[in-house]
Structure 1
């Protein structure tokens, strides 16, 4: 997982907190359970 340009190794069972404004991306093959809090807002999504 990459958070603000820094890579972090992840393994099954890990949880990742992505703070507001954090640039993030998944690298490699992952299966995820995404729990957005507050609820997901498609207007708050952007891509480079």
Structure 2
């Protein structure tokens, strides 16, 4: 995972907490389960 420009290795079964305002993306081949809390707001999504 890339969080605010830094790469962090993840393994099968890992969980990642993404804090508000953190720019993030999944890097490499993986499947994710996204559980947004609070509910997802499309106005709060930024794409490069």
Q: Alignment length, in residue pairs?
A: 48
Q: Deviation at 1:35?
A: 0.3
TM-score by length of 1: 0.93
**Which residue of the partner structure matches residue 33 of structure 1?**
33
Deviation sequence 1:2-48 (CA, Å, 0-9, x none): 00111000011100000000011111011111000000011111112
**Which residue of the partner structure matches residue 8 of structure 2?**
8
Q: Which runs of 5+ in 2 are unaligned?
A: none
TM-score by length of 2: 0.93
Q: Which runs of 5+ in 1 are unaligned?
A: none
Structure 1 stretches of at least 4 aligned residues deviating more than 3 Å after TM superposition:
none
What's the RMSD between the two structures over aligned residues? 0.6
